[in-house]
Amino acid sequence: MNWRRAALVSIVVLTAACANTLATGDAPPPRLDQRIAAPSFSFAADTFAFPNLIGARHPNEPDIYAHYCFVLARGLRQFAQFGRFDPALPKLDRAGYVERVKRVADLSVWKPALPPDDRVVIPGYANLREFSHAEESAVKEGLGGPFWTWVHWTNWRVTLPVTGGHQEGVAREILADLRAGRLVQLLVTNWPKPELNHTIVVFESRSTENGIEFGVWDPNNPSEPGLMTFEQTARRFWATHLYDTEPGPIRAFRMYYSPLL
């Protein structure tokens, strides 16, 4: 979601704290594996079937599902960590599915994934893509509204410059999480250009001659993966193929990986 209004609200109500560099010291460049991927994640099966819409692209359409990008990105991770689908079980009515989605969405996304037997069971469907296609309105209601994601205290980071050391630290942490089998949610921005103040979820990486390519799921584009690149020499991220974004340098910050961040 290009939540321009929300970004402005966050800038007004939130104050700066600690968006300086991540400590990298004289550490070597991030270790590149040929390919790293969250092992249990499938773009075709484990993503939402419907998009978050960009409000500016639908100016005269009331009640559209716009400005929910953080809700969807967080929800994607919550289903990956806390949900389990069982197509053999009988389907529920709409209210039953709303209740199940709310149970998933109420779990703190920075906590470890639950073992299969402890997860919230979604009966009657094989995966998130199938479920969210057939029960779209129930899924949207269960995930809840976007207001608190708009005013999350870390959103002010889009206004600040960062160093190459900070961005290299983010790249290291993405790789470490992928190696551990975890999806990684990022806040990405090219502020002050009013184009990209958004969230994406990284699910794989590939080494290249000049750095690292990160395969990402974008809430605005359920049809295909996006691509973000980390340039090793310049120590910066690049919007290689992000939805509705011109290729160019961007800044990236991890999101929802601790109670405070």
Mean pLDDT in residue range 112-121? 97
* Domain of 128, in residue numbers: 66-148
Residue 213 maps to a domain: yes
Mean pLDDT in residue range 26-39? 73
Residue 220 sits in the same domain as residue 179: yes
**25: alpha, beta or left? (left if phi > 0; alpha if psi -120 to 50):** left
Residue 133 sits in the same domain as residue 163: no
Please report the pLDDT score of residue 28 as a whole number.
62
Residue 111 sits in the same domain as residue 236: no
Radius of gyration of the chain (CA): 18
The pTM (predicted TM-score) of the whole model is 0.86
Residue 165 sits in the same domain as residue 85: no
Q: Which residues of 44-63 are buried (b: 16+ CB within 10 A; e: fewer)?
A: eebbbbbbbbbbeeeeeeee
201 pLDDT band, cuts 50/70/90, is very high
User: Per the structure, how many domains does the chain have?
Assistant: 2
Last residue of a domain, one of 131, 148, 165: 148
189 pLDDT band, cuts 50/70/90, is very high
Residue 96 sits in the same domain as residue 222: no
Please report the pLDDT score of residue 30 as a whole number.
67
Residue 189 maps to a domain: yes
- Residue 131 has φ and ψ, to the nearest 5°, of -65, -50
The overall average pLDDT reported for the chain is 87
Contact at 8 Å (CB) between 205 and 21?
no
Residue 131 sits in the same domain as residue 157: no
Mean pLDDT in residue range 36-54? 95
115 pLDDT band, cuts 50/70/90, is very high
Residue 162 sits in the same domain as residue 224: yes
Last residue of a domain, one of 99, 125, 148: 148
